[in-house]
Chain A
Amino acid sequence: MKKENFLWNATKTGLLGGAIGIFLCLVGMVEIFNKRDVVEGVITLGQFVLLATFLSVGLAASRRTSNLLGQNQSRLSLISGLIAGLISGLLVILLVVIGNQVNLRAVFLNASPALYDLLTFKRSLSGIWILPVTGVITGLAGAAFLLLPEAVRRPVSRGVLFLIFMALFSGLFRVVLINQGTLWGVIAKGLFGQTGVTLIGAIFFFIVVVGLNVFWSSKGSNIQTTLNQLPQKRRAGLRIGLFVLIAIIALGLPQVSGPFIAQVIVIISLYILMGLGLNITLGFAGLLDLGFVAFYAVGAYTVGLLTSYGPFGLQHIPFWVAVPIAVLVAMAFGAFLGLPVLGVRGDYLAIATLGFGEIVRLLAGSDFLAPFFGGPQGVIGIQKPCLGILGTFLSVDTPRICNGIELGKPQDIYYVAVVAALLIAFVAWRLRESRLGRAWMAIREDEDVAEALGVNLVQTKLLAYILGAAFAGLGGAIFTVLIGSIFASSMQLLVSINVVALIIVGGMGSIPGVVVGAIALIGLPELLREVSEFRYLIYGLILIVMMQAKPEGLWPSQSTRRELHHADADNLTAETLV
């Protein structure tokens, strides 16, 4: 009886895997990812994605079988992995078979001859056996993987992950290293290809990581005990040393890596600033604001209008004066937008604030307000920040001369952005530990009880909006000088959703979580074009999966983690209480 069950389980898993594989093909991921190599000349990202599917299918089937039949049925586990992989492969290749008979392309754009070539390894119908066989082998491998001892599993999986990471960013590393000089150039070209790591590079990285892992597992605990036994002063010294190291890297990074990485980091910092702002509104105070982009817009337009030398520039004020003004204006706006929705609860608040965000965008880009905001043409010619005295205003469309250092390039704005992000992170941290922070958390938990306990709802909520808006406004102010122009079409709802998503993924109410979320959700798509094509698809999937698996985020604050995992509530001790 159980043996039949296990066959059925394996088949089900195989069918699911096949469906996922077909989905990936039809949605275009396989084809587009195919343009990027994992190991140049050996395997592409598209092929890897399919293989990964079969591998996971094998793994899942094997795990289910062990759950069903007990741990020692290794042969049956392997067989179930084999079956699952086979069925997945068959299902995917079915796509090609059908595609040859019926014109699937009339419906699914990606069911193209190029895709079929990919799936049959350029051998058309005579190659349809390749994929199922690959499925079998990888399914088997996946199942076998589960049977390996942990000591082998961990280094291997880490090695593969690191390899993928290196492959995805190989183009970037290559350019950066080549710019450092001939020696580095040679190393770079040896290890990294244009679109993926070279074979040598792959082997090299894999061995390095596996080696490190083996080293750590054998000597690691020793090292850790030694570290723990060091006197306090030395440990503190080590920590300071670590901070200094990170600071050197952070300071020197833009000089080494060039404008592109600096630009990406500025964008990440912008989202960190916005994330910290929304963290206050949503993470601390529990107010779901989907119109957050409005505050960013206010900060951006204020700085833009005040410092632009174009036709819409107002006063041609220096950047350093304009930024505090922008933050104040954003705060006022936060109060203005928060006032009407003070009494609105929960999900309604989300839609209402969404409406606000859209209203701001529509008004800013409208012809009606074009004399003030530039309309669809936007505001261009925004003066770059100047560490020095700005020369006098000459005429429209001529930038003012900077008698000092002009922070024009992304590498320069990088410093402004990082300093701002650190500053605001500090402010957010202090806020959280303050009385106001606790009032916010009280409101988030239960508004009525908080009110009964003496928390002034109106003031506290307003302050949440105001401070959240301030941070977002600062972010907008900095970003606008990076791009040098503002267009209302950039203030889309998608930006607000990005910020909400990155807080959720990073961990609501958690400051390091915001940084993690920003790097993951904003940095990665900027750096990987192929990923950016499917960015929102992956977002959607991540949000759904995270809500079920880890709703407290990747780096949550203690209270949130406890709240969302009831089982841990039994383990409360005095230290774990916030």
Chain B
Amino acid sequence: MRMTFTERFVDLAVSGFLWGFRILMVLVIVLGTFFTVRAGKYTGEQWIDFVVFGISQGAIYAMIALGYTMVYGILRMINFAHGDIFMTGAFAGYFTAVWLNSIGFVNANPVLGLIIPIVAAMIFSASIAMLVEKIAYRPLRNAPRLVPLIAAIGASFFIEYAFRGFFGPGKYAYPPIKVLEGDWVIFGINILKVQVVVAVAAFIMMGILYSIVKYTKVGKAMRAVSENKDTAALMGIDVNRIIVSTFAIGAAMAGAAGVLYALVYRQIDFFMGFTPGVKAFTAAVLGGIGNIPGAMVGGMVLGIFESVGPSLFLEGLGITRAYQLKDVIAYTMLVMILLFRPQGILGERLSKQKA
């Protein structure tokens, strides 16, 4: 088809713009890094600190991202309410921990005192997720794609503000865990005990999830349903049950992440799930949506970039108060991935269907 002048012009503009964007990003990264390293403001140890912070933050993003990626894989739907499920887990864990603290249980059994709130959070979040699925999503399984998305936004707001109604708009401080105070020295680096525990717990749980998906029957069924719902049904898989299980497992991960988050940052409130939710989705896309190892990788990468980025890139370019723009880095990464490698780092496991 012969293109008109306007069409050619616009096409050129688009390609020009995209190339310009690529070049700009590369310049920012390279020049910024160069100047920062040259200025030598931070010691090697501090850079390692940045990376460590990024890993522990990234582990939390990764756990939330798992839920997003699994639900998207099966239903092709962004579960907007997933970040709020993370928040509900944090609250459940908080009240459990406060209760355990008050009866002196935690001092007697520190390890159990950590695990029980996590388990409670997982159960609570999974229940809420299953409730939301039943009320808000299931009736909309066959609707055009925009409709469940809007319903998910509605569910997200409903959960957030219901919790605000129950627990108020203020922040709740997670009780301090004596066992977790202080540092450990690993390979000569000072790392906070809390961060190590959180990262290790996250990895263990993700490992368990990966094995479930890869080796168990339920996992196989999940993968089948995400490939093709109808064929899976023909194969005798109870699609409904699998979908509910997916929601439940993803939510359990997010709920556990909520407690881990509370351990690291100590303050929780009704709105805490919103930004981590968006960032976790970014992480899922980064790693390749529908891809479980991808979600983990994406989470780590995002966490590290957020932590290191402002110092490494922005400060070098003379941008003042660089940490105010931390989120800008995360969102820019998202845009870049969507522009230049939409299948994510580890490649999209889904066939490239029309969304």
Contacts and interface: CB of A to CB of B under 8 A. Distances in A.
Interface in A441-483: 447-448, 454, 456, 458-459, 462
B281 interface: yes
Contacts, number: 177
Nearest to B160: A536
Given A458-B14, A534-B161, A551 B95 contact: no
Interface stretch (B56-64, B112-120, B138-146, B258-266): B138-146
A342 B21 CA distance: 14
B10 interface: yes
Given A366-B321, A458-B10, A539-B157, A27 B162 contact: yes
B6 A459 contact: yes
B150 A547 contact: yes
A368 B310 CA distance: 12
Contacts of B13: 339
Interface string B302-340: 000000000000000001111011011011101100110
A108 B167 CA distance: 6
A176 B102 CA distance: 55
Interface in B12-71: 13-14, 17-18, 21
A345 interface: yes
Contacts of B1: 454
Nearest to B76: A347
Contacts of A564: 143-144, 147
B159 interface: yes
A218 interface: no
B167 A109 contact: yes
Majority secondary structure of chain A interface residues (helix, strand, loop or mixed): helix
Nearest to A458: B10
B92 to A, nearest CB: 11
B343 to A, nearest CB: 11
A356 B331 contact: yes
A344 B338 contact: yes
Contacts of A107: 95, 166-167
Interface in B175-210: none
Nearest to A341: B338
A351 B157 contact: no
Contacts of B164: 537
A107 B334 CA distance: 38
Contact of B165 (A27, A356, A500): A27
B100 interface: no
A340 B17 contact: yes
Contact of B154 (A340, A454, A539): A539
A396 interface: no
B230 interface: no
Interface residues of B, number: 65
Nearest to B135: A544
A547 B148 contact: yes
A268 interface: no
B217 interface: no
B19 to A, nearest CB: 12
Contacts of B165: 26-29, 110, 534, 537
B149 A368 contact: no
- Residue from B21, B76, B281 with most neighbouring chain A CB atoms (10 Å): B281
Contacts of B151: 543-544, 547-548
Nearest to A548: B139
Contacts of A534: 161, 165
Contacts of A456: 7, 10
A348 interface: yes
A336 B24 CA distance: 15
A109 B146 contact: no
A540 interface: yes
A368 B282 CA distance: 25
B21 A340 contact: yes
Nearest to A505: B150
Contacts of B338: 340-341, 344, 348, 352
B124 to A, nearest CB: 13
Contacts of B149: 288, 347, 350
A547 B143 contact: yes
B157 A543 contact: yes
A216 B156 CA distance: 43
B85 interface: no
B232 interface: no
A354 B154 contact: no
B238 interface: no
A242 interface: no
B153 interface: yes
Nearest to B142: A566
A497 B325 CA distance: 23
Interface residues of A, number: 60
A500 B327 contact: no
A358 B331 contact: yes
A122 B136 CA distance: 38
A354 B149 CA distance: 14
A543 B80 CA distance: 13
Contacts of A501: 150, 153-154
Nearest to B156: A540
Given A537-B161, A537-B165, A547-B143, A366 B324 contact: yes
A99 to B, nearest CB: 14
Contacts of B168: 109
A130 interface: no
Nearest to A367: B321
B157 A536 contact: yes
Contacts of A358: 327-328, 331
Contacts of B354: 345-346, 447-448
A352 B11 CA distance: 21
B345 interface: no
Residue of B162, B168, B320, B332 with highest tally of chain A CB at under 10 A = B162
A346 to B, nearest CB: 3
A351 B149 CA distance: 11
| Interface-centre pick from B281, B328, B342 (highest chain A CB count, 10 A) | B328
Interface in A298-340: 336, 339-340
B150 A355 contact: no
A359 interface: yes
A544 B339 contact: no
A363 interface: yes
B161 A540 contact: yes
Given A352-B335, A368-B319, A462-B10, A544 B136 contact: yes
B355 interface: yes
A245 interface: no
B350 interface: no
Interface string A72-112: 00000000000000000000000000000000000111100
Contact of A543 (B7, B17, B150, B320): B150
Nearest to A342: B14
Most buried by A among B139, B335, B355: B335
A107 B94 CA distance: 10
B331 A544 contact: no
Contacts of A436: none
A348 B285 contact: yes
Contact of B78 (A336, A350, A355, A547): A350
Given A362-B328, A368-B325, A543-B153, A345 B355 contact: yes
A175 B153 CA distance: 37
Contacts of A288: 146, 149
B163 to A, nearest CB: 9
13 contacts: A27-B162, A110-B165, A288-B149, A341-B338, A347-B72, A356-B335, A359-B331, A362-B324, A366-B325, A368-B320, A501-B150, A501-B153, A544-B136
Interface of B: 1, 6-7, 10-11, 13-14, 17-18, 21, 72, 76-78, 95, 135-136, 139-140, 143-151, 153-162, 164-168, 278, 281-282, 285, 319-322, 324-325, 327-328, 330-332, 334-335, 338-339, 342, 354-355
- When A and B form their complex, which 5 residue pairs have the shortest distance between CB atoms, in order from nearest? A543-B154, A346-B355, A540-B158, A27-B165, A540-B157
Given A108-B167, A536-B157, 4 more contacts: A108-B166, A458-B11, A544-B155, A544-B158
